[in-house]
Chain A
Amino acid sequence: MDSVLEIKRLRKEYKGFTLNDVSFSLPEGFIMGLIGPNGAGKTTIIKLVMNLIRRNAGEIKVFGLDNIRSEAEIKARIGFVYDNPFFYDDISLKSLKSAIAPFYPKWDERLFQKLMEEFDLPLKKKFKTLSHGMKMKFALAIAMSHDADLLILDEPTAGLDPVFRIELLDRLAALMENERKSVLFSTHITTDLERIADYITFIKDGEIVFTAAKDEILENWAVVKTGGDRFESDGVPGLRGYRRSEYGVEALTSDAGAARQALSRDDVLERASLEDIMFFMSKGERHG
Protein backbone atom coordinates (compact mmCIF):
# COMPACT_ATOMS: atom_id res chain seq x y z
CA MET A 1 0.00 0.00 0.00
CA ASP A 2 1.27 3.48 -0.85
CA SER A 3 1.83 6.00 1.91
CA VAL A 4 0.69 9.57 1.47
CA LEU A 5 2.74 10.57 4.46
CA GLU A 6 5.92 8.93 5.62
CA ILE A 7 7.89 10.24 8.57
CA LYS A 8 11.24 8.73 9.48
CA ARG A 9 13.33 9.35 12.59
CA LEU A 10 12.15 12.92 12.90
CA ARG A 11 13.87 15.09 15.49
CA LYS A 12 13.30 18.65 16.63
CA GLU A 13 14.99 20.26 19.61
CA TYR A 14 13.60 23.13 21.60
CA LYS A 15 14.72 24.43 24.95
CA GLY A 16 13.10 22.05 27.40
CA PHE A 17 11.38 19.89 24.78
CA THR A 18 12.65 17.42 22.23
CA LEU A 19 10.65 15.64 19.59
CA ASN A 20 12.67 12.46 19.45
CA ASP A 21 12.97 9.77 16.80
CA VAL A 22 9.41 9.99 15.52
CA SER A 23 8.49 7.59 12.71
CA PHE A 24 5.09 6.68 11.32
CA SER A 25 3.28 6.49 8.02
CA LEU A 26 -0.24 7.02 6.79
CA PRO A 27 -1.44 4.77 3.95
CA GLU A 28 -3.43 6.39 1.17
CA GLY A 29 -7.20 6.34 1.64
CA PHE A 30 -7.25 6.36 5.43
CA ILE A 31 -7.68 8.64 8.43
CA MET A 32 -5.06 8.88 11.13
CA GLY A 33 -5.58 10.50 14.49
CA LEU A 34 -2.52 11.95 16.17
CA ILE A 35 -3.40 11.91 19.84
CA GLY A 36 -1.65 12.85 23.04
CA PRO A 37 -1.86 15.27 25.94
CA ASN A 38 -1.23 18.97 25.48
CA GLY A 39 2.44 19.68 24.88
CA ALA A 40 3.18 16.14 23.65
CA GLY A 41 4.50 17.35 20.29
CA LYS A 42 1.49 16.95 18.00
CA THR A 43 1.58 20.48 16.63
CA THR A 44 5.37 20.32 16.27
CA ILE A 45 5.03 17.27 14.01
CA ILE A 46 2.38 18.98 11.90
CA LYS A 47 4.45 22.15 11.60
CA LEU A 48 7.43 20.07 10.49
CA VAL A 49 5.33 18.32 7.85
CA MET A 50 4.13 21.71 6.60
CA ASN A 51 7.73 22.96 6.65
CA LEU A 52 6.82 25.87 8.93
CA ILE A 53 9.75 25.09 11.23
CA ARG A 54 13.16 23.55 10.62
CA ARG A 55 13.87 19.99 11.68
CA ASN A 56 17.10 18.86 13.31
CA ALA A 57 17.07 15.42 11.74
CA GLY A 58 14.92 12.93 9.94
CA GLU A 59 12.96 12.66 6.76
CA ILE A 60 9.41 13.55 5.73
CA LYS A 61 7.82 12.41 2.51
CA VAL A 62 4.40 13.55 1.34
CA PHE A 63 2.88 11.84 -1.74
CA GLY A 64 6.28 10.16 -1.99
CA LEU A 65 8.08 13.51 -2.35
CA ASP A 66 10.50 15.24 -0.01
CA ASN A 67 8.47 17.83 1.89
CA ILE A 68 11.08 20.58 1.63
CA ARG A 69 12.38 20.09 -1.91
CA SER A 70 8.88 19.69 -3.37
CA GLU A 71 7.12 22.03 -0.97
CA ALA A 72 5.02 23.99 -3.48
CA GLU A 73 3.89 20.92 -5.38
CA ILE A 74 2.93 19.16 -2.17
CA LYS A 75 1.11 22.08 -0.61
CA ALA A 76 -1.15 22.53 -3.62
CA ARG A 77 -2.52 19.07 -2.81
CA ILE A 78 -2.84 19.57 0.96
CA GLY A 79 -5.76 21.14 2.83
CA PHE A 80 -4.37 22.55 6.03
CA VAL A 81 -6.06 23.81 9.17
CA TYR A 82 -3.94 25.10 11.99
CA ASP A 83 -5.44 25.19 15.48
CA ASN A 84 -5.16 28.95 15.56
CA PRO A 85 -6.15 29.96 12.04
CA PHE A 86 -4.38 33.02 10.86
CA PHE A 87 -5.37 35.09 7.86
CA TYR A 88 -5.07 38.81 7.19
CA ASP A 89 -7.27 40.33 9.83
CA ASP A 90 -8.69 43.43 8.34
CA ILE A 91 -10.35 42.23 5.17
CA SER A 92 -13.59 40.42 4.45
CA LEU A 93 -13.86 36.65 4.04
CA LYS A 94 -14.78 37.22 0.43
CA SER A 95 -11.57 39.13 -0.31
CA LEU A 96 -9.57 36.59 1.65
CA LYS A 97 -11.00 33.83 -0.49
CA SER A 98 -10.15 35.76 -3.68
CA ALA A 99 -6.59 36.10 -2.48
CA ILE A 100 -6.22 32.42 -1.54
CA ALA A 101 -8.12 30.61 -4.30
CA PRO A 102 -5.65 31.36 -7.17
CA PHE A 103 -2.96 29.37 -5.34
CA TYR A 104 -4.95 26.20 -5.86
CA PRO A 105 -5.24 24.78 -9.38
CA LYS A 106 -8.24 22.70 -8.34
CA TRP A 107 -10.20 25.40 -6.53
CA ASP A 108 -13.92 24.54 -6.48
CA GLU A 109 -15.85 27.79 -6.13
CA ARG A 110 -19.24 26.12 -5.97
CA LEU A 111 -18.21 23.80 -3.17
CA PHE A 112 -16.72 26.75 -1.31
CA GLN A 113 -19.96 28.74 -1.58
CA LYS A 114 -21.90 25.72 -0.41
CA LEU A 115 -19.64 25.22 2.60
CA MET A 116 -19.84 28.91 3.53
CA GLU A 117 -23.59 28.58 3.55
CA GLU A 118 -23.61 25.33 5.48
CA PHE A 119 -21.16 26.66 8.03
CA ASP A 120 -23.18 29.90 8.41
CA LEU A 121 -20.22 32.08 7.50
CA PRO A 122 -20.91 35.66 6.42
CA LEU A 123 -18.83 36.50 3.33
CA LYS A 124 -18.90 40.22 4.04
CA LYS A 125 -17.58 40.09 7.58
CA LYS A 126 -13.98 40.84 8.37
CA PHE A 127 -11.85 37.97 9.59
CA LYS A 128 -10.92 39.72 12.84
CA THR A 129 -14.56 40.07 13.88
CA LEU A 130 -15.12 36.30 13.82
CA SER A 131 -15.22 34.10 16.92
CA HIS A 132 -12.57 31.39 17.28
CA GLY A 133 -15.08 28.75 16.19
CA MET A 134 -15.98 30.71 13.06
CA LYS A 135 -12.33 31.26 12.16
CA MET A 136 -11.89 27.52 12.44
CA LYS A 137 -14.88 26.91 10.18
CA PHE A 138 -13.56 29.36 7.59
CA ALA A 139 -10.18 27.63 7.60
CA LEU A 140 -11.95 24.28 7.15
CA ALA A 141 -14.04 25.64 4.28
CA ILE A 142 -10.87 26.81 2.52
CA ALA A 143 -9.08 23.52 3.21
CA MET A 144 -11.95 21.48 1.82
CA SER A 145 -12.58 23.57 -1.29
CA HIS A 146 -9.64 22.62 -3.46
CA ASP A 147 -10.03 18.89 -3.82
CA ALA A 148 -7.03 18.25 -1.59
CA ASP A 149 -5.68 14.70 -1.52
CA LEU A 150 -4.48 15.06 2.05
CA LEU A 151 -6.19 17.03 4.80
CA ILE A 152 -4.02 17.98 7.74
CA LEU A 153 -6.08 19.27 10.62
CA ASP A 154 -4.48 20.47 13.84
CA GLU A 155 -7.01 20.25 16.66
CA PRO A 156 -9.87 20.83 14.22
CA THR A 157 -12.60 20.57 16.83
CA ALA A 158 -11.07 22.93 19.39
CA GLY A 159 -13.50 25.75 20.08
CA LEU A 160 -16.30 24.21 18.03
CA ASP A 161 -19.71 23.37 19.42
CA PRO A 162 -20.90 19.73 19.43
CA VAL A 163 -23.33 20.32 16.56
CA PHE A 164 -20.55 21.42 14.27
CA ARG A 165 -18.22 18.67 15.46
CA ILE A 166 -20.79 16.11 14.33
CA GLU A 167 -21.13 17.92 11.00
CA LEU A 168 -17.36 17.84 10.54
CA LEU A 169 -17.32 14.13 11.36
CA ASP A 170 -19.91 13.53 8.67
CA ARG A 171 -17.99 15.64 6.13
CA LEU A 172 -14.83 13.64 6.75
CA ALA A 173 -16.69 10.33 6.63
CA ALA A 174 -18.18 11.36 3.28
CA LEU A 175 -14.76 12.37 1.95
CA MET A 176 -13.39 8.92 2.70
CA GLU A 177 -15.73 7.27 0.20
CA ASN A 178 -13.06 8.35 -2.24
CA GLU A 179 -10.18 5.95 -1.73
CA ARG A 180 -7.58 8.47 -2.90
CA LYS A 181 -8.25 10.89 -0.02
CA SER A 182 -6.42 10.79 3.30
CA VAL A 183 -6.68 12.72 6.54
CA LEU A 184 -4.26 13.40 9.38
CA PHE A 185 -5.73 15.17 12.37
CA SER A 186 -4.41 15.89 15.82
CA THR A 187 -6.55 16.11 18.91
CA HIS A 188 -6.44 15.83 22.66
CA ILE A 189 -10.19 15.17 22.81
CA THR A 190 -10.11 11.59 21.60
CA THR A 191 -13.82 10.83 21.77
CA ASP A 192 -14.44 13.35 19.02
CA LEU A 193 -13.05 11.67 15.98
CA GLU A 194 -12.29 8.29 17.50
CA ARG A 195 -15.08 6.62 15.55
CA ILE A 196 -13.85 7.34 12.06
CA ALA A 197 -10.10 7.10 12.61
CA ASP A 198 -8.49 4.11 10.88
CA TYR A 199 -5.09 4.54 12.48
CA ILE A 200 -3.99 6.08 15.75
CA THR A 201 -0.57 7.46 16.58
CA PHE A 202 -0.16 8.20 20.25
CA ILE A 203 2.56 10.62 21.21
CA LYS A 204 3.72 11.61 24.67
CA ASP A 205 6.62 13.79 25.81
CA GLY A 206 7.90 14.08 22.25
CA GLU A 207 8.03 10.34 21.64
CA ILE A 208 5.76 7.83 19.97
CA VAL A 209 4.07 5.41 22.33
CA PHE A 210 2.39 3.47 19.55
CA THR A 211 1.20 3.82 15.99
CA ALA A 212 -1.24 1.18 14.79
CA ALA A 213 -4.66 0.41 13.36
CA LYS A 214 -7.31 1.61 15.80
CA ASP A 215 -9.21 -1.68 15.83
CA GLU A 216 -6.03 -3.50 16.72
CA ILE A 217 -5.41 -1.13 19.62
CA LEU A 218 -8.94 -1.40 20.94
CA GLU A 219 -8.68 -5.17 20.74
CA ASN A 220 -5.41 -5.45 22.64
CA TRP A 221 -5.78 -2.79 25.28
CA ALA A 222 -8.19 -3.15 28.19
CA VAL A 223 -8.90 -1.87 31.67
CA VAL A 224 -8.86 -4.41 34.50
CA LYS A 225 -10.65 -3.61 37.73
CA THR A 226 -9.39 -5.66 40.62
CA GLY A 227 -8.78 -5.60 44.38
CA GLY A 228 -5.81 -3.72 45.81
CA ASP A 229 -4.38 -6.79 47.60
CA ARG A 230 -4.68 -9.00 44.58
CA PHE A 231 -3.08 -6.35 42.42
CA GLU A 232 -0.13 -6.20 44.82
CA SER A 233 0.41 -9.96 44.91
CA ASP A 234 -0.37 -11.03 41.34
CA GLY A 235 -0.12 -7.90 39.24
CA VAL A 236 -1.79 -7.62 35.84
CA PRO A 237 -0.20 -8.99 32.64
CA GLY A 238 0.85 -6.30 30.17
CA LEU A 239 0.44 -3.55 32.77
CA ARG A 240 0.91 -0.04 31.34
CA GLY A 241 -0.45 2.16 34.11
CA TYR A 242 -2.90 2.07 36.98
CA ARG A 243 -4.98 4.11 39.36
CA ARG A 244 -5.57 3.12 42.94
CA SER A 245 -8.57 4.07 45.02
CA GLU A 246 -9.68 3.03 48.49
CA TYR A 247 -11.80 0.26 47.05
CA GLY A 248 -9.59 -1.24 44.41
CA VAL A 249 -7.32 -0.73 41.45
CA GLU A 250 -8.03 0.10 37.83
CA ALA A 251 -5.20 -1.07 35.62
CA LEU A 252 -4.51 -0.51 31.94
CA THR A 253 -3.11 -3.48 30.04
CA SER A 254 -1.86 -3.75 26.47
CA ASP A 255 -2.29 -7.53 26.54
CA ALA A 256 -6.03 -8.02 26.95
CA GLY A 257 -5.80 -11.71 26.06
CA ALA A 258 -3.38 -12.59 28.85
CA ALA A 259 -5.16 -10.31 31.29
CA ARG A 260 -8.46 -12.04 30.59
CA GLN A 261 -6.88 -15.43 31.32
CA ALA A 262 -5.54 -14.15 34.61
CA LEU A 263 -8.82 -12.67 35.84
CA SER A 264 -10.11 -13.93 39.14
CA ARG A 265 -13.78 -14.20 39.92
CA ASP A 266 -14.54 -10.71 41.15
CA ASP A 267 -12.34 -8.91 38.63
CA VAL A 268 -13.79 -7.05 35.70
CA LEU A 269 -12.18 -6.54 32.31
CA GLU A 270 -13.54 -3.79 30.09
CA ARG A 271 -12.61 -2.45 26.70
CA ALA A 272 -10.31 0.54 26.97
CA SER A 273 -11.24 3.70 25.12
CA LEU A 274 -8.51 5.88 23.62
CA GLU A 275 -9.29 8.28 26.42
CA ASP A 276 -8.58 5.57 29.00
CA ILE A 277 -5.29 4.77 27.29
CA MET A 278 -4.29 8.41 27.16
CA PHE A 279 -5.24 8.96 30.79
CA PHE A 280 -3.49 5.94 32.29
CA MET A 281 -0.40 6.43 30.16
CA SER A 282 0.01 10.08 31.05
CA LYS A 283 -1.45 10.45 34.52
CA GLY A 284 -1.63 6.93 35.96
CA GLU A 285 1.01 5.49 38.25
CA ARG A 286 3.50 3.02 36.86
CA HIS A 287 5.52 0.16 38.25
CA GLY A 288 9.25 0.45 38.63
Chain B
Amino acid sequence: MKIIISNSSNLPIYEQIARQIKNQIMSGELREGEPLPSIRKLAHELQISVITTKRAYDDLEREGFLDTVGGKGTFVSVQNKDLMREKKMKIVEDKLNEAVSQAKMLGIDLEALKVMLSLLFREDE
Protein backbone atom coordinates (compact mmCIF):
# COMPACT_ATOMS: atom_id res chain seq x y z
CA MET B 1 0.00 0.00 0.00
CA LYS B 2 1.26 3.44 -0.87
CA ILE B 3 -0.04 6.64 0.68
CA ILE B 4 1.21 10.14 0.12
CA ILE B 5 -0.14 12.98 2.17
CA SER B 6 0.03 16.54 0.98
CA ASN B 7 -0.10 19.29 3.55
CA SER B 8 -0.89 21.90 0.94
CA SER B 9 -3.85 20.02 -0.53
CA ASN B 10 -7.28 21.45 0.04
CA LEU B 11 -8.59 17.94 0.69
CA PRO B 12 -8.71 16.91 4.33
CA ILE B 13 -6.15 14.25 5.21
CA TYR B 14 -8.73 11.51 5.86
CA GLU B 15 -10.07 12.03 2.37
CA GLN B 16 -6.61 11.90 0.82
CA ILE B 17 -6.05 8.55 2.51
CA ALA B 18 -9.48 7.16 1.59
CA ARG B 19 -9.10 8.15 -2.07
CA GLN B 20 -5.69 6.60 -2.43
CA ILE B 21 -6.74 3.32 -0.86
CA LYS B 22 -9.88 3.29 -2.98
CA ASN B 23 -7.86 3.84 -6.16
CA GLN B 24 -5.50 1.05 -5.25
CA ILE B 25 -8.40 -1.32 -4.66
CA MET B 26 -10.05 -0.37 -7.97
CA SER B 27 -6.81 -0.79 -9.90
CA GLY B 28 -6.17 -4.16 -8.29
CA GLU B 29 -2.95 -3.09 -6.55
CA LEU B 30 -4.68 -3.98 -3.30
CA ARG B 31 -6.26 -7.39 -3.65
CA GLU B 32 -9.37 -8.84 -2.12
CA GLY B 33 -8.75 -10.12 1.37
CA GLU B 34 -5.45 -8.27 1.71
CA PRO B 35 -4.87 -7.06 5.27
CA LEU B 36 -4.43 -3.36 5.92
CA PRO B 37 -2.33 -1.88 8.72
CA SER B 38 -4.25 -1.11 11.92
CA ILE B 39 -5.44 2.49 12.33
CA ARG B 40 -2.80 3.01 15.02
CA LYS B 41 -0.02 1.56 12.91
CA LEU B 42 -1.03 3.72 9.95
CA ALA B 43 -1.30 6.82 12.15
CA HIS B 44 2.21 6.16 13.42
CA GLU B 45 3.68 5.67 9.96
CA LEU B 46 2.02 8.78 8.56
CA GLN B 47 2.54 10.70 11.82
CA ILE B 48 -1.05 11.82 11.96
CA SER B 49 -3.95 11.63 14.37
CA VAL B 50 -5.49 8.24 15.10
CA ILE B 51 -8.90 9.87 14.63
CA THR B 52 -7.94 10.82 11.07
CA THR B 53 -6.97 7.29 10.02
CA LYS B 54 -10.06 5.90 11.74
CA ARG B 55 -12.27 8.28 9.79
CA ALA B 56 -10.66 7.19 6.51
CA TYR B 57 -11.21 3.49 7.29
CA ASP B 58 -14.77 4.13 8.49
CA ASP B 59 -15.62 5.90 5.24
CA LEU B 60 -14.13 3.09 3.16
CA GLU B 61 -16.00 0.53 5.18
CA ARG B 62 -19.26 2.36 4.65
CA GLU B 63 -18.64 2.41 0.91
CA GLY B 64 -17.99 -1.32 0.96
CA PHE B 65 -14.28 -1.29 0.16
CA LEU B 66 -13.03 -2.53 3.52
CA ASP B 67 -14.18 -5.00 6.15
CA THR B 68 -13.16 -4.89 9.77
CA VAL B 69 -13.18 -8.20 11.55
CA GLY B 70 -13.23 -7.76 15.32
CA GLY B 71 -9.95 -8.82 16.86
CA LYS B 72 -8.37 -9.66 13.51
CA GLY B 73 -8.02 -6.37 11.70
CA THR B 74 -9.11 -4.63 8.55
CA PHE B 75 -9.15 -6.26 5.11
CA VAL B 76 -9.96 -5.34 1.53
CA SER B 77 -13.48 -6.64 1.12
CA VAL B 78 -14.50 -9.16 -1.46
CA GLN B 79 -15.68 -6.95 -4.28
CA ASN B 80 -18.86 -7.54 -6.15
CA LYS B 81 -17.70 -7.53 -9.81
CA ASP B 82 -20.79 -5.73 -11.14
CA LEU B 83 -20.68 -3.17 -8.39
CA MET B 84 -17.00 -2.61 -9.03
CA ARG B 85 -17.60 -2.06 -12.71
CA GLU B 86 -20.39 0.34 -11.91
CA LYS B 87 -18.11 2.30 -9.60
CA LYS B 88 -15.41 2.48 -12.24
CA MET B 89 -17.93 3.62 -14.85
CA LYS B 90 -19.16 6.26 -12.46
CA ILE B 91 -15.69 7.73 -12.08
CA VAL B 92 -15.24 8.08 -15.83
CA GLU B 93 -18.80 9.30 -16.27
CA ASP B 94 -18.17 12.13 -13.83
CA LYS B 95 -15.07 13.21 -15.72
CA LEU B 96 -16.87 13.03 -19.07
CA ASN B 97 -19.72 15.03 -17.65
CA GLU B 98 -17.29 17.76 -16.76
CA ALA B 99 -15.83 17.69 -20.27
CA VAL B 100 -19.30 17.82 -21.82
CA SER B 101 -20.43 20.84 -19.86
CA GLN B 102 -17.15 22.59 -20.58
CA ALA B 103 -17.59 21.80 -24.29
CA LYS B 104 -21.13 23.17 -24.30
CA MET B 105 -19.97 26.31 -22.59
CA LEU B 106 -17.28 26.84 -25.21
CA GLY B 107 -19.58 25.99 -28.13
CA ILE B 108 -17.97 22.70 -29.19
CA ASP B 109 -20.52 20.30 -30.69
CA LEU B 110 -20.97 16.56 -30.18
CA GLU B 111 -19.29 15.57 -33.46
CA ALA B 112 -16.15 17.52 -32.65
CA LEU B 113 -16.17 16.06 -29.19
CA LYS B 114 -16.44 12.49 -30.51
CA VAL B 115 -13.52 13.06 -32.86
CA MET B 116 -11.46 14.44 -30.01
CA LEU B 117 -12.34 11.50 -27.78
CA SER B 118 -11.41 8.91 -30.43
CA LEU B 119 -8.11 10.65 -31.09
CA LEU B 120 -7.26 10.80 -27.41
CA PHE B 121 -8.25 7.20 -26.83
CA ARG B 122 -6.01 5.92 -29.65
CA GLU B 123 -3.09 8.15 -28.77
CA ASP B 124 -2.45 6.17 -25.65
CA GLU B 125 -2.40 2.75 -27.28
- For window 12-58 of B, CB contacts with A under 8 Å fall at 12-14, 38, 40-41, 43-44, 47-52, 55
Distance in angstroms between the alpha carbons of A219 and B44 in the assembled complex = 22
Question: Looking across the interface, which residue of chain B has its beta carbon closest to that of A178?
Answer: B40
**B47–A196 CB distance below 8 A:** yes
Within 8 Å by CB of A174, from B14, B44, B48, B55, lies B44
Contact A215 B44 (CB under 8 A): no
Q: Is A160 an interface residue (CB 8 A)?
A: no
Q: Is the CB of A196 within 8 A of B49?
A: yes
Taken together as a complex, chains A and B put the C-alpha atoms of A174 and B38 apart, in Å, by 13
A179, B53: Cα distance in complex, Å: 14
Residue total for A at the interface (Cβ-Cβ under 8 A): 22
Contact of A176 among B12, B13, B43, B52 (CB under 8 A): B43
A178 to B40, CA, bound (A): 8
B10 located at the interface, meaning its Cβ lies under 8 Å from any Cβ of chain A in the complex: yes
B59-90 contacts to A, CB under 8 A, are none
Please indicate which of the listed interface residues A31, A196, A271 has the most CB atoms of chain B within 10 Å of its own CB: A196
Is there an interface contact between A218 and B49, defined as CB atoms closer than 8 Å? no
Q: Which residues of B contact A177 (CB under 8 A)?
A: 38, 40-41, 43-44
Give chain A residues whose Cβ lies under 8 Å from the Cβ of B41.
Answer: 177
> How many Å lie between the Cα of A169 and that of B51 in the bound state?
17
The complex places the Cα of A176 from the Cα of B38 at a distance, in Å, of 12
Q: Give B49's nearest chain A residue, CB to CB.
A: A198
Min CB distance B56 to A, Å, is 10
Given contacts A218-B12, A219-B12, A271-B10, contact A176 B51 (CB under 8 A): no
Task: Report A191-235 residues with CB < 8 Å from chain B CB.
Answer: 195-198, 213-215, 218-219
A30 CB within 8 Å of chain B: yes
State whether the Cβ of A109 lies closer than 8 Å to any Cβ in chain B: no
Per-position 1/0 for A24-58, Cβ under 8 A of B: 00000111000000000000000000000000000
Q: Is the CB of A215 within 8 A of B14?
A: yes
With a cutoff of 8 Å between Cβ atoms, the chain A residues found around residue B49 in the complex are 31, 195-198, 214-215
Chain A residue at minimum C-beta to C-beta distance from B48: A195
Report B-chain residues with C-beta under 8 Å of the C-beta of A195. 47-49
Chain A residues closer than 8 Å to B48, beta-carbon distance: 195-196
By a CB distance below 8 angstroms, the chain B residues around A29 are 50
Q: Does A13 contact B (CB under 8 A)?
A: no
**By the criterion CB–CB under 8 Å, are A169 and B14 in contact?**
no
Q: In chain A, residues 218-258, which have Cβ atoms closer than 8 Å to a Cβ of chain B?
A: 218-219
Nearest-Cβ distance from residue B37 to partner chain A, whole angstroms? 10
Task: State whether A215 and B50 are in contact (beta carbons under 8 Å apart), knowing that A174-B44, A177-B44, A179-B40 are contacts in the complex.
Answer: no
Alpha-carbon separation in the docked complex, A82 to B41 (Å)? 29
B residues with CB within 8 A of A: 10, 12-14, 38, 40-41, 43-44, 47-52, 55
Q: List 23 A-B contacts (CB under 8 A).
A: A29-B50, A30-B50, A31-B49, A169-B47, A173-B44, A173-B47, A174-B44, A176-B40, A176-B44, A176-B50, A177-B40, A177-B44, A179-B40, A195-B49, A196-B48, A196-B49, A197-B49, A215-B14, A215-B49, A215-B52, A218-B12, A270-B10, A271-B10
- Please give the residue numbers on chain A whose beta carbons come within 8 Å of chain B beta carbons, in ascending order: 29-31, 169-170, 173-174, 176-179, 195-198, 213-215, 218-219, 270-271
Having A176-B40, A177-B43, one finds 7 other A-B pairs with CB under 8 Å, namely A177-B41, A179-B40, A195-B47, A196-B43, A198-B51, A214-B51, A270-B10
